[in-house]
Amino acid sequence: MRNMLAIFQKEMRSYFISPIAYVLAAVFLVISGYFFYGIVVSFSNQSLYYVQYSSRYGMQMPPLNLNEQVIRGIFGLMSFISLFMIPMLTMRLYAEEKRSGTIELLMTSPLTTVQTLLGKFLACFVLYVLIIALTVIFMVILEIYGSPEWGPIISSYIGTLLMGAAFISVGIFASSLTENQIVAVVISFGALLMFWVIGSAVIFTGPGAGRVFSYLSIIEHIVDFHKGVIDTKDAVFYLSFTGFFLFLTYRTVESRSWR
């Protein structure tokens, strides 16, 4: 536990003294802020139109749903940005240790591969949580000017974090395969993109294989979270996905001693 904490703090510190965490957080906030603004403006235009329309024709319109349009849009966007952001957060974790030779220090010190791995994973995950937490501002703004339902917001956050954990595990795995950070980014981005689009394979495969593919799709499982439904099946998917890739990473790091 103490060892894991030491690794965790080392990684955290390294994130915060390099500009990468700040740059990524800023980019994330700017892009999602811009889209938040855009979505909100278009939503309010639409509402205005609705109001005029119903007063002019005296018709009862179906109520507009803030959750469906604004919140789902924002969270969808967050997942999409994470796809680009997380490989950049994870690229360093093992690749840099290998390149600089500090992996030799870690592996000859009395700490286990699991402690190192979990320390690194948690550091990255906590940083991700912090970046995602910045978007709470948007929800507060919505709360001030509108009346969003907090249920789906909270479940969407939970889904986003679970998905983030899965992304991070793929990123760490990619980082453990190489000593080149750029290669690590390319591998993890490629792999994540594949898990992102794999659900669409149903177009050309039969419905049987299509079900498998859509089960493996990393975004398929977040849909329910966005609707406010926390389904254990989806949570289990993300957790086992994360566990699987962390296990692969563990094997890769350990196997260095078998070569």
Partner 1 sequence: MIEVEHLTKYFGSTLAVDDISFRVEKGEILGFLGPNGAGKTTTMRILTCFLAASKGTARVAGYDVFEDSLEVRKRIGYLPENPPVYSDMTVQFYLDFNARIKGIDPKDRKRRVEEVMERCAIRDVKDTIIGKLSRGYKQRVGLAQALIHDPEVLILDEPTIGLDPRQIIEVRKLIKGLAGEHTIILSTHILPEVSMTCQRVVIINKGRIAAVDTPENLTTKLRGSERLFIEVEGPADEVSRKIREMPEVIGVTVETGRNGGRNAFLVDSKVEVDIRAQLASKIVGSGFGLLEMRPVGMSLEEIFLQLTTEERTE
State the residues that interact with partner 1 by CB under 8 A. 2-3, 6-7, 10, 13-14, 17-18, 100-112, 256-259
Choose between 116 and 135: whose C-beta lies nearer to partner 1. Answer: 116
- Shortest distance, CB of residue 210 to partner 1, whole angstroms? 43
Q: Which of 228, 232, 73, 81 is nearest to 167 (CA)?
A: 81
Residue placing its CB nearer to partner 1 in the complex, 106 or 174: 106
Q: How far apart are CA 111 and CA 108, in angstroms?
A: 8
Residue with Cβ nearer partner 1 (204 or 258): 258
What's the min distance (Å) between Cβ of 103 and partner 1? 8
Q: How far is the CB of 6 from partner 1 (least distance, A)?
A: 4
Closest distance to partner 1 from the beta carbon of 181 (Å): 14
> Minimal distance in Å, beta carbon 94 to partner 1?
14
Specify the residue, 106 or 187, whose C-beta has the smaller distance to partner 1. 106
Distance CA 72, CA 79 (A): 11
Nearer to partner 1, 17 or 203 (CB): 17
- Considering the complex, state which of residue 231 and residue 254 has its C-beta at the smaller distance from partner 1: 254
Contact 249, 117 (CB under 8 A): yes
Supply the minimum distance, in Å, between the C-beta of residue 232 and partner 1: 37
